[in-house]
Amino acid sequence: MREHLYWKFVLTFLIGVLGSLILSYYITTRIAGDETDYYEEIERVIEGITQVYDLVAEEEKEKIIPILKDLGLDVDTLATHELSDTLSSEEVRQFLNQMAGEVYIDGQSTSLSRSIYLALDDAQGKYLRVNIDLTDDLNDRRALMIRTLLFVLGLGSLFIMFASRFLVGSIRKLTFAAREVTRGNFDVDLKTEREDEIGQLMHSFEEMIQTLKNTEEVRKMFVSNVSHEIQSPLTSIKGYTKAIQDGIIDSKAQSKYLEIIYQEADRLSRLSENLLKLANLDNDQFALTREPYRIDEQIRSVVLTTAPLWQAKNLVINVDLEPLSLDLDKDLMELVWINLITNAIKFTDPGGYIDISYYLEHDKRVIRIRDTGCGIPEEKLPYIFDRFYKVDDARTGKTSGSGLGLAIVKRIILLHGADIHVVSDTNQGTTFFVRLKKY
């Protein structure tokens, strides 16, 4: 039981309150002068009785008896021989030796039980005894105080038990949610209307669960896509290789199928390189190697490198770039231009046109790459930078790679603190805008 936070809250409160009650009782009954007040009260009563006794004439002494009884005092009359019933022989002797009209007080000044002996008629041996006992009053007062403190303790205990259950209930929900998440179940409801620290913790935990859920979905999709991308070329390689080994394919056609095997192996190699590149770019410790260089010269170099591709399709490429020097990671930006330009070449029909230009936009330097290809449907534009996403069916229907190229481009651009935007119309072409900061 002691291991549960709920009972720790309750026991801690009870110990604290109980200690406070004991201290309060001690302070009230001891330090605050509880008994002292009663001693003083007795002294005042004795003084008042004595004053009344002194004021009454000798022959009227008995008239004070009903007055004292009306005041609620215990009063009785005693004969000389009855004094020994309440006093010791020494006290009786001392009392009888006093002068007539004297007042004899029995009991210690620190006692709450005192007796006053008054001489009513010395000649007849008649005396008046007034008993003053405040012990019961003090005990009743203390009992009432104890009952009140116990009531406060009980009421406070009930309150803290309900309050603790309210507090610990949220923590139990968090514990349950954590256990479910560790089991792979992300469908946990932690919605709460609480706005305190516990509520904020639950909101943060729910956001974390949602993030983990999204990450898990991305992971599963990633694994599925990678498996598919690997399985497809492997199937071709395995099938054609087996066919050649079994002699199903004659020697004249083998070169064709070997070329297919080579292309599929090359596709696997590029997939592996892209995956490694993305893993490297996703690393939190990854750092750009910035250096100032001419962007326009780099783009022209990429256009020349891809010349066999666009010349084979009889494309026209126009490069309208002014001298532009920026502080960027040269190697990574070369990947950006290679991916964007090869995509434009790949999805532009023979005899088409590709335009690469540059313009200023506030504090940004914008590189625009426009092609006259088949374009991208509007509903698919938001997903083209997702990993493994392909729009081949909406464009040429041809195999266009692993679907990682634009994901790599997006990641590189974001690492530079820049942004990339695309505009496309079906059968009208596609335009990519790369906005780079000048510093």
Which has the closest alpha carbon to 364: 436, 439, 433?
436
Question: Is the separation of the CB atoms in 114 and 46 below 8 Å?
Answer: yes
Work out the percent of the chain whose per-residue pLDDT is above 70.
75
Quickly count: other Cβ atoms within 10 Å of residue 206's Cβ: 17
Q: What is the DSSP letter of 108?
A: -
Half-sphere exposure of 370 (CA within 13 A, CB side): 12
pTM of the predicted protein model: 0.50
Q: Is 436 within 8 Å of 364 (Cβ atoms)?
A: yes
Q: Long-range contact list for 181-185, CB < 8 A, 24+ apart?
A: 181/209, 181/212, 184/216
Q: How many CB atoms are located within 10 Å of the residue 365 CB?
A: 18
pLDDT, tens digit, 9 for 90 and up, residues 412-424 = 898 888 999 999 9
Top-ranked range on mean pLDDT: pick from 118-127, 355-364, 374-383, 393-402: 355-364
**Among 433, 432, 427, residue whose Cα is nearest residue 352:** 427
Q: Residue 54 above 80 pLDDT? A: no
As a whole number of angstroms, the distance between CA 43 and CA 38 comes to 9
The rounded distance, in Å, linking the Cα atoms of 55 and 425 is 122
Domain 197-282 is of which CATH architecture? Orthogonal Bundle (1.10)
> For all residues of the chain together, what is the average pLDDT?
76
Confidence grade of residue 118 (pLDDT, cut at 50, 70, 90): confident
Sheet holding 419-425, edge to edge: 316-320, 353-361, 364-371, 429-437, 419-425
pLDDT in tens, 182-237: 877 777 777 776 666 667 777 887 888 777 777 777 677 767 767 766 777 788 78
Q: Which fold has domain 290-437?
A: Heat Shock Protein 90 (3.30.565)
Q: Is 154 exposed, middle or buried (0-12, 13-18, 19+ CB in 10 A)?
A: exposed
| Better-scored residue on pLDDT, 18 or 298 | 298
